[in-house]
Amino acid sequence: MKEKYFSQLTSEEKHILKDKGTEPPFSGVYNDFFEAGIFVCRACDNPLFDSHTKFQSGCGWPSFDDEIKGAIVRYEDFSTGRLRTEICCSNCNGHLGHVFHGEQFTEKDIRHCVNSLSIRFIPHAKN
């Protein structure tokens, strides 16, 4: 983990990104947020998700059915006693959330379940 990226974060953001925490469901600013742009890592500004891949899953956290190529790394996570796949920023290794397969929310059949506190939105430039 690259410590320099975490020095400017709030304690809540550090808890998510550095300590692998989880914000309460339906509490995040991006859960019901649907504007055109990209979502970047809050710690290092690495582009992670394009807004056109975001969808409403009803799970209480922002959900995306695709990532920007090379933006995410995956790790096996047994912290809850069952196997999950953790997703982290490929640049700073900050914890973003988890990825799930086989739920049939979208044609891609994948859901990146992401903490709002781990990402930041950058709107597309308006012409």
Instruction: Say which CATH number the domain at 27 has.
Output: 2.170.150.20
In a domain, 127, yes or no: no
pLDDT at 1: 56
Prediction pTM value? 0.93
Q: What is the pLDDT of residues 13-70, one digit of tens each?
A: 999 999 999 999 999 999 999 999 999 999 999 999 999 999 999 999 999 999 999 9
Q: Is the pLDDT of residue 81 over 70?
A: yes
How many C-beta atoms lie closer than 10 Å to residue 11's C-beta? 7
- Contact by Cβ (8 Å): 75, 94: no
What is 9-39 written as a DSSP string?
Answer: S-HHHHHHHTT---PPTT-STTTT---SEEE
Q: Indicate if 92 belongs to the active site.
A: no
Q: What is the pLDDT of residues 1-17, one digit of tens each?
A: 577 899 899 999 999 99
What's the domain range around 8? 3-121
Catalytic residue (choose from 41, 88, 89, 113): 113
